[in-house]
Chains A and B, each alone.
Chain A
C-alpha cells in the first residue's frame, strides 16, 4: 500500500511534462509549482504513522505523534517556493514588457 508515493510521483511527472512540452513561460512556472507540491507531499507521507496524532504534546498522553522534523522542513520549503514563484513571475512580466510575448521560442533573441 504505497499509493501516496505513487501519487506524488505521478504529480511530479505531470509537472515535468508541463515544463518540457509547453512553451509558455507561465506554464513552465506552473510546472515548477506542481513539482514543489509533489515533493512536499512525498516528505509528509514519509513522516506519517498509522494512528499517529498531531505533533503537539499536551499533558501526558501516550499516543505516538507523527514526525515533526519533516513537517518543519516542509514549512520552510513552502514559504521559499512562494518567494521563488514571485521572483519568477516578475521576471516573466519583465520579459513580456520587452518582447510582447511569453513564448520561450520568441524571446530567444538577445536584445538590450
Chain B
C-alpha cells in the first residue's frame, strides 16, 4: 500500500487547485469530492500541500537516521 498525502475532507472546499498541480494524477475530483488514488508514482513533491489555500492537505515526512 503506497503512502499518500492526507486530505482533511472537513476542511477541503474542493477548489481543485491540487488536482491541477498533481503531476502523477493521484488527486482527482470524483463527484465533486477530492479523492486520492494510491500510486507509487507519487513522488511526494508536496506541490498539493503547497498550493492548498486552506491547509487541508498534509504531506508529512518521517525523519530517520540512516542505518549503519
Q: Do A and B bind each other?
A: no
Residues of B within 8 A of A (CB): none
